[in-house]
Amino acid sequence: MAHISILSSSVRNGRKSHRVALYLQHYIKENNLAESEIIDLRAYKFPVFDERLRLQKNPTETMIQFADKIKLSDGVIIVTPEYNGSIPASLKNAIDLLYDEWHRKPIAISTVSSGLFGGSQALVTLQFILWKMHAWTVPAMLPIASVTELFDEEGVAADQEVMNNLASIFINELLWCIEANKRMTESHVLSNTSQ
Ligand SMILES: Cc1cc2nc3c(=O)[nH]c(=O)nc-3n(C[C@H](O)[C@H](O)[C@H](O)COP(=O)(O)O)c2cc1C
């Protein structure tokens, strides 16, 4: 079974986008689609970036733990709010910390806003950043507008049927890309060992 990490990006007091991370984790578990865990940037409390992890002389345990979690994930869902037409600094801070860990990592993006546009500008920005990091962004996306109307604090969707349909398309696309990635990696390993 694939292992999916859900990166919850907002570290803001009273954050709302975390509700979407909770919903997705619950949805994946309920439907037995994959193993999943939330990587919560609020809990990591990373300092402001001063160097990439691989070049740091004394990286903290939490940075190493974060890198390992991303590296060992078969796929990642990034849940991010839009701040001033972009992604929050907390997310960029964490992305820049790593490099190889993002390489060919299947990543599905869910952007969140309290307004009507569902974080569409953050989505474009994040896609570009992840392309630079050589990650594989999955074509399906899950933009969430009016987040406080759509989810309660525990991540329960107000309209389960509609949200579950959207989540199903979103996560199945990620699972397809995870499988494609796995098969390519395996066939690459096989062709190298048979030479
Ligand atoms: C600093 C800041 C900037 C924001 N900028 C935008 C924006 O550009 N576009 C938008 O749709 N919403 C914007 N919002 C509203 C957020 O979408 C809304 O507050 C959302 O709940 C933020 O996610 P969070 O609660 O998980 O931090 C902004 C909110 C904050 C705090």
pLDDT at 44: 97
pLDDT at 189: 79
Ligand 1 centroid – CA 67 distance (Å): 27
The pair of three-digit structure tokens given for residue 137, joined into one six-digit string: 């962004």
Ligand 1 centroid – CA 10 distance (Å): 10
**Rounded Cα–Cα distance for residues 171 and 30 (Å):** 13
Q: Does residue 195 carry a pLDDT above 90?
A: no
Q: Where are the alpha helices (DSSP H) in the chain?
A: 18-30, 41-44, 61-72, 89-97, 120-132, 147-150, 160-193
pLDDT-derived band at 129, boundaries 50, 70, 90: very high
Which of 82, 123, 125 has most ligand 1 atoms within 8 Å of its beta carbon, as the pocket-test mutant? 82
**Rounded Cα–Cα distance for residues 70 and 134 (Å):** 14
Q: Is 17 in the pocket of ligand 1 (CB under 6 A)?
A: yes
Q: Does residue 117 carry a pLDDT above 70?
A: yes
Q: Does residue 21 carry a pLDDT above 80?
A: yes
Q: Does residue 155 carry a pLDDT above 90?
A: yes
pLDDT at 187: 85
Q: Does residue 194 carry a pLDDT above 80?
A: no
**Rounded Cα–Cα distance for residues 147 and 21 (Å):** 12
Q: Is 112 in the pocket of ligand 1 (CB under 6 A)?
A: yes
Position in ligand 1 atom list of the atom nearest CA 113: 17
The pair of three-digit structure tokens given for residue 30, joined into one six-digit string: 């309920």
Provide the mean pLDDT of the chain: 96
pLDDT-derived band at 190, boundaries 50, 70, 90: confident
Residue nearest to atom 30 of ligand 1 (CA): 83
